Structure 1
């Protein structure tokens, strides 16, 4: 099984990651590879806090929530599993960048990641404290990495919302 080509893609459920998921599916079809969508998660408060106060039922709940997020992401992106490509969804515990680079360890693998804005203020704080997932993957991956920029539709939606907000202010 180790000689099977894989396209591994980080999935969080954000619109940016859904764009990357679509691109990864295209790449998997073109390469006749297995699509491996990966959702990485850590316990709320981080691993250190969990080790200080372990709670197995809570850990199971977080794992199930992560599995649900990956299932919803696949549903939102494709209406279920994508057609015409073998899929091996994975939910793994750990920091996303580390999980993705450790998983994408074969020379023939392709790691697909999203780039761009993520998570608002909380996301910016997290990137300052831990660094960005995309930067980690680009710096450390042992295989090819495809960094997918945000969809232009995302900026169009932002512009539309800004326009609506301005019209509402003017009308008030």
Structure 2
């Protein structure tokens, strides 16, 4: 895997020319599905794949305006780097995505970080479509909707993996302490 580039806020820029496929990565099943789709798009178009993970200090930026201690900040940045590498390992294994890859860990809100990375009109921003339930949309803001509304480039919203429905069903059964019949998962 490529080395991870740490970025603070601001435009990523990058070398002129060459198409980029920017994929938002959080480690969730939806983001791994989007990462696979982004790699497939990069293979087809000959583009460079940018895997972007955004992170914020616990409590958000407001709680650290007085100048956070550098030691915890470095530890949080290191944990974000590890999370990105783990997500790439989960998605592609040791072989990698088989396209040129640039890894970015950006301190900031996910929507802003993705828009800063995909800052050229010829980029393609690939994000997971996220939760589709009304309650989830009301409680958690959608990074996908934020990016679609504000991006200067095309945005590809990848629907959840077919496995997501089965995984949600297992979680519901576990939360209600219902027995699980493995034959139901094979359907």
- The question of whether the paired residues in 1 share the 8 Å contact of 2:118 and 2:125 is answered with yes
Counterpart in 2 of 1:13? 27
- The question of whether the paired residues in 2 share the 8 Å contact of 1:74 and 1:81 is answered with no
Counterpart in 2 of 1:24? 38
Counterpart in 2 of 1:167? 179
Q: Distance in 2 between matches of 1:150 and 1:114?
A: 7
Partner of 1:89, secondary structure, is strand
Seen in structure 2, the aligned counterparts of structure 1 residues 122 and 150 have a Cα distance that, compared at 3 Å, is closer
- The question of whether the paired residues in 2 share the 8 Å contact of 1:74 and 1:80 is answered with no
Report whether the alignment pairs 1:145 with 2:155.
Answer: yes
Report whether the alignment pairs 1:157 with 2:171.
Answer: no
What count of residue pairs does the alignment treat as equivalent? 162
Counterpart in 2 of 1:37? 51
Deviations 1:75-133, CA, capped at 9 Å, x for gaps? 00001462420000100100010111121111110000001229xx99964x2xxx321
1:1-172 matched pairs, under 5 angstroms = 1-52=15-66, 54-80=68-94, 82-117=96-131, 125=139, 127=140, 131-160=141-170, 166-167=178-179
Seen in structure 2, the aligned counterparts of structure 1 residues 122 and 43 have a Cα distance that, compared at 3 Å, is farther
Q: Distance in 2 between matches of 1:132 and 1:151?
A: 17
In structure 2, list runs of 5 or more residues that go unmatched: 1-14, 181-187
Q: Distance in 2 between matches of 1:123 and 1:63?
A: 28
TM-score, scaled relative to structure 2: 0.79
TM-score, scaled relative to structure 1: 0.85
Seen in structure 2, the aligned counterparts of structure 1 residues 81 and 48 have a Cα distance that, compared at 3 Å, is farther
Moved over 2 A (4+): 80-84, 121-125, 156-168
- The question of whether the paired residues in 1 share the 8 Å contact of 2:127 and 2:144 is answered with yes
Higher helix share: 1
The two structures, once aligned, show a CA RMSD in angstroms of 2.2
